[in-house]
Amino acid sequence: MATKSYAGVNVDVTEDGYLTDPTQWNKDIAAEIAKEEGIDLTDKHFEVIDFLRAENDKGTQLTIRMVGKSGITDIKGLYTLFPAGPLKKSSRIAGIAKPTSCV
Amino acid sequence: MSEEKKKTPLKKVFIIVAKGTIEDIYAGLVMANGAVMEGIETKLFFTFFGMDAIIKKRQNKSKTATVGNPAMRMPGGLPFPTLLGMLPGVEAGVSAMMKSQMAALDVPPVDEFIEMIVAGGGELYACKLAFDMFKLKREDLDDNVKDVITVGELYELAGGEPGTQIIFT
């Protein structure tokens, strides 16, 4: 485990750069992680992020299909928001653990 | 973070699905969808009985073989006798169970899974030889199938820089 500074806050991250404690997360941190992934966050991104965080709190195993059925965006839209990493990048930006599902 | 060894990410895969049981089809689709989600350029090639995955009328009706499948187990873990697999309704029952177990893990039906792969930029191709052999028509195939191609065209599509990993499931 390592410590990284985002938006002036020190957070604990895994080797892959995922926050280990979702409660350390805030929107400024999200914006800086997103910048590392080459993404400028919009309201739509935050809708997905909020959804992922809420589902993660419930202990759900996250999948892109779930996001596609959430009514926020469809699968294609999700790929547009988080190119080349619809679940991994969005999870990292959302400050939650690296996804463990295969779908 | 110390980066001693430079990791070269996989860039392109071509996944070949040649068999038509539930697990053979899903093995290919799960790998393809996973690749798309990793940002890997992904193409699928369906041939022989694997064509069932892209034949509209059959794609969601695949079965698991209950005969000649020595790895199959009863729900408790005991070996599944081949003789039992021959009884009417057993294949349908086992297949329904396989599907419900996968649905519980949020694995979609085949047609929806294909939609997901294509939504992420994956491409589907049908084998010309199998297409001709089974006397299929273009309208029999899932609308997401990009083209019906020869094996030579498959290798052409797999070319370029960097080369493509071809995976036969």
pLDDT digits (tens, 9 = 90+) for B100-140: 999 999 999 999 999 999 999 999 999 999 999 999 999 99
Q: For residue B51, what are the contacts with CB-CB under 8 A and spacing of at least 6?
A: B20, B126, B127, B130, B131, B134, B136
Residue B158 identity (one-letter amino acid):
A
Q: Do A87 and B37 touch (CB under 8 A)?
A: yes
Q: Do A102 and B34 touch (CB under 8 A)?
A: yes
Distance in Å, alpha carbon of A28 to nearest chain B alpha carbon: 23
pLDDT band at B7 (very low <50, low <70, confident <90, very high): confident
Nearest to B94 by CA among B63, B62, B52, B61: B63
CA-based nearest residue in chain A for residue B31: A102
pLDDT mean across residues, chain A: 96
Which of B2, B12, B33, B116 is the best residue to mutate to test the A interface, defined by the most A CB atoms within 10 Å of its own CB?
A: B116
Task: Give the pLDDT confidence of B54-93 residue by residue, as tens digits.
Answer: 999 999 999 999 998 999 999 899 999 999 999 999 999 9
Question: How many beta-carbon pairs under 8 angstroms link A with B?
Answer: 45
As a dihedral over the C-alpha atoms of residue A17, residue A22, residue A24, residue A27, rounded to 10 degrees, the angle is 80
Q: Does B21 touch chain A (CB under 8 A)?
A: no
Work out the average pLDDT over B33-40.
97
Q: What is this model's ipTM?
A: 0.93
Q: Which of B62-96 are b and which e, b meaning 16 or more Cβ less than 10 Å from the residue's Cβ? A: bbbbbeeeeebeeeeeeebeeeebeeeeebeebbe
Question: Can you give the pLDDT at residue B4?
Answer: 66
**A100 inside domain:** no
**A99 inside domain:** no
Nearest to B58 by CA among B114, B129, B98, B106: B114
Q: Do A85 and B33 touch (CB under 8 A)?
A: no
pLDDT mean across residues, chain B: 95
**A58 inside domain:** yes
Choose among A2, A68, A101: nearest Cβ to B1: A2
DSSP tag of B107? P
Work out the average pLDDT over B137-144.
98
Report DSSP letters for B11-25, one per residue. -EEEEEE---SHHHH
Choose among A15, A64, A74: nearest Cβ to B37: A64
User: What CATH number was assigned to the domain covering residues B12-63+81-168?
Assistant: 3.40.1260.10
- Hey, where are the domains in chain B? 12-63+81-168
* Percentage of chain B lying above the pLDDT 70 cut: 98
Which of A13, A75, A91 is the best residue to mutate to test the B interface, defined by the most B CB atoms within 10 Å of its own CB?
A: A75
Q: Do A64 and B105 touch (CB under 8 A)?
A: no
Assess whether pLDDT exceeds 90 at residue B163: no
Question: Which alpha helices (H) appear in A3-87, and where do they start and end?
Answer: 27-36, 43-57, 64-68, 75-81
Residue range of the domain that includes A66: 2-93
Place of tokens 């969005």: A90
Distance in Å, alpha carbon of B133 to nearest chain A alpha carbon: 33
Number of domains forming the structure of chain A: 1
Element (H, E) at B116: helix B110-119
**A102 inside domain:** no
Q: How many residues does chain A have?
A: 103
Does the annotation count A102 as an active-site position?
yes
Work out the average pLDDT over A49-78.
96
Work out the average pLDDT over A63-73.
96
pLDDT band at B2 (very low <50, low <70, confident <90, very high): low
DSSP tag of B55? B
Q: Residues of A numbered 40-69 whose beta carbons fall under 8 angstroms of chain B's beta carbons: which are they?
A: 61, 63-66, 68
Is the separation of the CB atoms in B50 and B19 below 8 Å? yes
Assess whether pLDDT exceeds 90 at residue B169: no
Is the separation of the CB atoms in A53 and A95 below 8 Å? yes
Q: Which of A68-91 are b and which e, b meaning 16 or more Cβ less than 10 Å from the residue's Cβ? A: bebebbbbbbbbebbebbbbbbbb
